[in-house]
Amino acid sequence: MSIVSNSSPLILLAKIGRFNLLKQYENVFIPNAVYIEVCIHGKSLPGSDEVKRAIHEGWIQIRKVKTLPELEFLLGRGEAEAITLAKSLNFPILIDDRKGRILARKMNLTVFGTLGVLVNAYNHGLIEDLESEVQKLVNAGIRISPVLLRKLMEEIK
């Protein structure tokens, strides 16, 4: 399965040392605005070197996309371009922003977030201790509803 990613999952996975979990997907596409956000504006921050290396290795690809001004007004340029790219390619979108997730679902896209990457990796045996990886995500700054977190932890025990 190929996916389109927004900035925050790339950054968060880099922060917890699990960026390479994105390799479980056939191809990862990012719009130009996400590249600029992570690698130019975020130069020397988590995710920048990882994204550049993945682009060099060929498993992350940058795509230029034109969005509707209304979409950029509602979200940000990165989220708007990621949603537009996912829609044009008909690929699932990896996005954590709540407004972006709601809008992507309204556009009939398959949506999952950074937590979904960890769960998928756990289900495929790529990580052994999901609970500690989720805790690392929380410590890195992801906002997860306590109800969702409790439900997830109950399911894996």
Q: Which of 83, 78, 87, 130 is nearest to 102 (CA)?
A: 83
May I ask the CATH architecture of the domain 3-156? 3-Layer(aba) Sandwich (3.40)
- The 8-class DSSP code of residue 1 comes to -
Please name the residue that has the structure tokens 């109950």.
154
- Whether 156 has a pLDDT exceeding 80, the answer reads no
- Whether 81 has a pLDDT exceeding 80, the answer reads yes
Cα separation, 37 vs 47, in Å, equals 10
**Residue spans per domain, the chain:** 3-156
Cα separation, 5 vs 86, in Å, equals 8
Q: How far is CA 9 from CA 5, 119, 137, 157, in A?
A: 7, 14, 10, 25
Higher pLDDT pick, 25 / 155:
25
Give tens-digit pLDDT for 4-13: 999 999 999 9
- Whether 58 has a pLDDT exceeding 70, the answer reads yes
Please state whether the predicted TM-score (pTM) of the whole model is above 0.85: yes
Q: Which of 114, 102, 93, 111 is nearest to 47 (CA)?
A: 114
Please answer whether residues 69 and 81 qualify as being in contact, where contact means their C-beta atoms are separated by less than 8 angstroms: no
Q: What is the CA radius of gyration of the chain?
A: 15
What CA dihedral angle connects 85, 118, 55 and 75, to 10 degrees? 30
